[in-house]
Amino acid sequence: MFYTLDILGTMAFAISGTLTAINKRFDPFGVFIISFVTAVGGGTLRDVLIGRTPVSWMQDLNYVYAIIGATIFTILIRKRIDYLSTSLFLFDTIGLGIFTIIGTEIGIQQNLHPIISVALGVISATFGGVIRDILCNEIPIIFHKEIYASACIVGAITFLVLSNYNITININYVITSLIVITIRLIAVKFKLSLPTFIENK
């Protein structure tokens, strides 16, 4: 299930990147580039940080095929998507939930400290979106007051806690991924946010 979730997360982020690029009116090459970096950006940075090279997508072309397929599929159905921003948010949130757990699990497999494992989960989930937003000339969501990385941290910590109990790993994957997704959905639905610093003049 770990591998399946990784592929699904890759596809979800690829769709998110494709929708963003379409919204920015990029050409087909630009759309594919944004789709690709959104899908593998966080995982690539994670693998480089822990010295796992070549990075995962270079060793398994199924990731590349998944990105290409998701990109083409999204381009073909783009005219049927009535609420582009809603679809973008949905797939970005799904990818966020899945990749948080993937990154955290890899940290555990590498026998890293729990705090570092949580950090890897957050990096895996968010940095593809950071690269996407920077290339699209947007301020990355992670730097906004929206609850984004915070949801990843809660999910990663929950995953670590549940891993210490006699819970099937597949159930742990599902529960913690849904926690991240649910927190993000609730935060946006009810416009919950973290406080910001306001400089007094």
Domain ranges of the chain: 2-189
The yes-or-no verdict on residue 86 having pLDDT over 60 is yes
Query: By the 8 A CB rule, do 176 and 162 touch?
Result: yes
d(CA 138, CA 131): 10
The yes-or-no verdict on residue 98 having pLDDT over 90 is yes
Name the pTM for this structure: 0.90
The yes-or-no verdict on residue 201 having pLDDT over 80 is no
Query: By the 8 A CB rule, do 13 and 125 touch?
Result: no
pLDDT of residue 143: 85
Tens-place pLDDT, residues 117-140: 999 999 999 999 999 999 999 989
